Structure 1
Amino acid sequence: MSIFGEFHFPADAFVLHRTLEQTSDLVVEFERIVVDEERLAPYIWVRTSEPSAFEERAIKDPCVEALERLDAFGTDSLYRVDWAADTSPLVDLVTDVDAVVLEASADRDHWELRIRFDDREQVVRFQRDCDQRDITFLLQRLYSPSEPMTGGQHGLTDKQQEALVVAWEVGYFDSPRDVTLEDVAAELGITRQSLSQRLRRAHYSLIGNTLIITPPTSDGEP
């Protein structure tokens, strides 16, 4: 049975370390990232108040060969990235044990990765290899799926679904609202910035997959 692990790694253990270090309000998120033949998926969501500054720093980052902004929604932008051949030792570790990175997101301090393993033996190998390469990590959660996730049918990642459910359970969507974004973030054990982006992307996916039948054209007509 597959096993899912949620890990926190230092920012310098994965990609864009220098860019994250230089940009205080930066949040980066891969969605359904797949490591294939030791290469990372090319699409990332970036949230920052200074996209131009992010682009200038990212293109100089050793892990980036090319960068192109595809879409922008307020402070959120979708980029296509051509990664350098040797992006991160974590990429090698994941592919060496035949595991798959399903989600990855970061702020200035750390990366959060959700990794799918085929069995517990793969988990043990991965943890051992991290130790041998002096890659520190914090294991947040290790679990086997007990039932199918329902959020996928609406385009939600597991983390986006969890954020929406927890926010609803603690009363964030109540009126009047007594619960702040910081309260919900504390329940989830993530930063306010990460939660804000996660909710924004969740709302975008829900609307796009439930309410929008035909995308609007450039003049706003369907």
Structure 2
Amino acid sequence: MAVIVELTVPADAFELGQILRVEGATKITLETMVPLGGRPIPFVRVHNGTRNAFEETVRDHPTVTELTLVNSHDGERLYALDWDSSGASLLQTILGLGGVLLSATGTTDTWSLELRFPTHDALSEFQEYYIDQNIQVSIKHIYNPTKPDAGPWFGLSPTQRETLIHAVESGYYSLPREISTQELADAFDVSDQAITERLRRGISALVQNTLLVDPEQD
């Protein structure tokens, strides 16, 4: 059965922490990782950072091919990072064991990661790796939150996941609501009925694969 682990790792022990170096109160959030040509391309959001210093530091890293500013809004910037991830590393070990990086947030000193491994044995192999490498990993939580066949995103399709994330980040579920159903539909070039159905199916999948899981199955 799949297992999810939440942990923290020193920034200098994690390759994205080595590349995306920040200072002060700057925080980095990994938005998603898109596999292109066999290489994971991270989209990262930078909060409260100094643009010029950050971009210069990242582009100077020897593994970085390109850093592209995707958009900027209200003091936050979204970048696409093209880099050479082929070297032996913490992330490559995770991916090699069938792990999925569900979320990652970094600061000056540490990165908080949420990882999903296909089995407890894979997680044990990962633990053996970082112990052998003398990486100071702090485990926060380990749990089996979903049905075994739910997939890495709790049963959501990529489209459902993207829509739900955009809806939450845009304030669709805020009180008062900050974006209308039609505006949300326009963002995905579909009808308001289609977007409502997509949200309904996505929420249903989340509930069925998390809240309705029989604890005895874990």
Smaller-chain TM-score bracket: 0.5 to 0.7
Query: 1:137 aligns to what?
Result: 137
Whole-Å Cα distance in 2 between the matches of residues 93 and 37 of structure 1? 19
Q: For structure 1, which runs of at least 5 residues remain unmatched after alignment?
A: 158-200, 216-222
Amino acid at match of 1:4: I
For the aligned residue pairs, the C-alpha RMSD in angstroms reads: 3.2
Q: How does 1:21-170 map to 2 (within 5 A)?
A: 23-33=23-33, 39-86=39-86, 89-146=89-146, 152=161, 155-156=164-165
Whole-Å Cα distance in 2 between the matches of residues 62 and 10 of structure 1? 20
CA-CA distance at 1:34 after TM superposition: 6.1
Deviation readout 1:159-212 (Å, 9 max, x if unpaired): xxxxxxxxxxxxxxxxxxxxxxxxxxxxxxxxxxxxxxxxxx953364569553
SS at match of 1:70: strand
Kept in 2: contact 1:156–1:202 (CA 8 A): yes
Higher share of residues assigned strand: 2
Runs of 4+ aligned structure 1 residues displaced above 3 Å come to: 32-39, 85-88, 146-154, 205-211
Deviation readout 1:13-51 (Å, 9 max, x if unpaired): 111426525x22321111243678873333111112421
TM-score normalized by the length of structure 2: 0.66
SS at match of 2:9: strand
Whole-Å Cα distance in 2 between the matches of residues 87 and 30 of structure 1? 20
Q: For structure 2, which runs of at least 5 residues remain unmatched after alignment?
A: 148-153, 173-177, 188-218
TM-score normalized by the length of structure 1: 0.65
Query: 2:18 aligns to what?
Result: 17
